[in-house]
Amino acid sequence: MIFRPSTVKKLLHIQRKMFDLRPELKLHTSMPIRATTLIWRLGALSILILAARPAIAQEAGSTPRSIVFSALNPVVSSFVATPNIGSSNTSSSSDNQWLKVEWHYSVVAPPDAVSPVGDFLNEVEFKVWIEGRDQLDKAAKPGGEGIAIALTGTVTYVNVPKGRDLYGVVYVHPDTLARYTNTRGVEEYLRNFDVHVEADVEGKAVDAADRKKEDDLKWFQQLRAVPGFVYRQDLSPFINANSDQYPAIKLPDSR
């Protein structure tokens, strides 16, 4: 912890006042120098701790609200049919099934907060890793499982209200699913492929969740990242689907 010069000067002044005792209470001159030094150090340390407490409390009080993923099925993957824009009908073709990845979370006050915080979180960024396979990679064996990859993307929500039933969502195009899978097809995205979602507040990861339980919590970091194929809702045909269920999306170049 770093103190301003003026603060240090005040602390030293208080320390001298504390040890400026009445003559009958002053340290005996025959006391060993090590004992005298120890007493001075303990006194100074106590003063520094007491002075630091208000600063620590103030910092904790300004801590932003935290994101906590649901304990039960925090990340869910499903296939959804492509909607026909301008029509109430949807395509039933299996070739037009998008992958929908939705996550369930809460916005709660941190347990160490000592003062109330607002009813909204200014913004939270969700980072998404969707497991897949690349059979066209030069290192992949012909007819094999392909190289393990992760389709990556982000979505940032703004003015996120406090509450325990909040959701986020991203989508992956059918052609991308067919391109990045193994010989068993796109159904692997529901059967075996995992998904990792991380919540970042003010540039710091505050919580994370997987679709499937993994022994290695950092499994997604070992995959080759393939960005650019995970769409936010406003960049997909599902822009109006359950739009009242998700917070507002931050525009890319908003100031």
Confidence tier at 252 by pLDDT (50, 70, 90): confident
Confidence tier at 10 by pLDDT (50, 70, 90): low
Confidence tier at 23 by pLDDT (50, 70, 90): very low
- Interval 216-231 mean pLDDT: 97
Tell me: the pLDDT tens digits for 85-97? 665 555 545 568 9
pLDDT tops 50 at residue 196 = yes
What is the dotted CATH code of the domain comprising 66-249? 2.60.40.10
- Interval 19-28 mean pLDDT: 41
Phi, psi angle pair for 224, to nearest 5°: -75, 120
- Between 16-30, 48-62, 204-218, 221-235, the lowest mean confidence (pLDDT) is in 48-62
Residue 254: predicted pLDDT? 58
> Hey, what are 196's tokens?
């990792």
| Ranges of each domain in the chain | 5-55, 66-249
pLDDT tops 80 at residue 36 = no
pLDDT tops 80 at residue 57 = no
Residue 221: predicted pLDDT? 97
pLDDT tops 60 at residue 53 = no
- Between 114-118, 122-126, 187-191, 208-212, the lowest mean confidence (pLDDT) is in 114-118
pLDDT tops 50 at residue 180 = yes
